[in-house]
């Protein structure tokens, strides 16, 4: 006779699932709340609710769709609570955003592929700056200290890198005939 998993084992399995899906869940939230700091707040609130409802999670089903369903409610709560987001709290807005995301999925996937190609072409110093800012959540001030530059120089560098990546992506898409020539 097999023993039922302990509550601690269930909690550990739940945390593993969450940690594997955390970045995807944040990307899902960013679809509706594009300000990164606000999206992280919604992610935190989502995690608290997921943890409270962990006993309701059916381990035979996929974690991410369940977590995204809860995140949708947290996004709506956020929209209603924040005066600057209140106008977004319409019931049909999420559906509209979802439809647009579905319509653009192929193009966004292709752009993501081209972005990865363009990132691989960046000089190591630019890649380190970009990774520090976006992947490691370093502040501009922290990057400036680490790189021995002023914060303004780091801001300008990030702006130039982003522009360079956009140009690289669009050049690649034009070469493949996805975008019209200028």
The string of pLDDT tens digits covering residues 21-46 is 898 999 999 988 888 889 999 999 99
Q: Residue 35 and residue 29: Cα distance in Å, rounded? A: 10
CATH of the domain at 164: 1.10.10.10
The DSSP symbol for 83 reads G
C-alpha–C-alpha distance, residues 44 and 98, integer Å: 22
Say if residues 109 and 101 touch (Cβ distance below 8 Å). Answer: no
Residue 181 within a domain: no
The predicted model scores a pTM of: 0.65
Domain interval for residue 160: 105-175
Tell me, yes or no, whether 131 and 81 share the same domain.
Answer: no
Question: Percent of the chain at pLDDT above 70?
Answer: 93
Element containing residue 110 per DSSP (H, E): helix 105-121
Q: 127: which residues sit within 8 A by CB, 6+ positions away?
A: 119
Same domain, 99 and 115: no
Q: How many domains does the chain have?
A: 2
């Amino acid at each position: 006779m097999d023993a039922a998993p302990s509550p601690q084992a269930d909690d550990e399995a739940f945390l593993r699932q969450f940690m594997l899906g955390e970045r995807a869940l944040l990307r899902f939230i960013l679809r509706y709340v594009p300000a990164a700091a606000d999206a992280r707040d919604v992610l935190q609130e989502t995690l608290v609710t997921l943890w409270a409802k962990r006993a309701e999670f059916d381990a035979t089903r996929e974690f991410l769709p369940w977590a995204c369903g809860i995140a949708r409610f947290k996004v709506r709560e956020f929209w209603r609570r924040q005066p600057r987001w209140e106008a977004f709290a319409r019931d049909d807005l999420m559906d509209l955003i979802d439809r647009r995301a579905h319509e653009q999925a192929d193009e966004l996937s292709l752009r993501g592929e081209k972005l990865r190609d363009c990132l691989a072409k960046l000089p190591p110093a630019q890649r380190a700056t970009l990774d520090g800012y976006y992947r490691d959540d370093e502040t501009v001030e922290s990057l400036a200290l680490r790189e021995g530059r002023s914060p303004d120089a780091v801001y300008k560098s990030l702006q130039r890198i982003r522009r360079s990546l956009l140009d690289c992506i669009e050049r690649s898409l034009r070469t493949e005939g996805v975008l019209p020539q200028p």
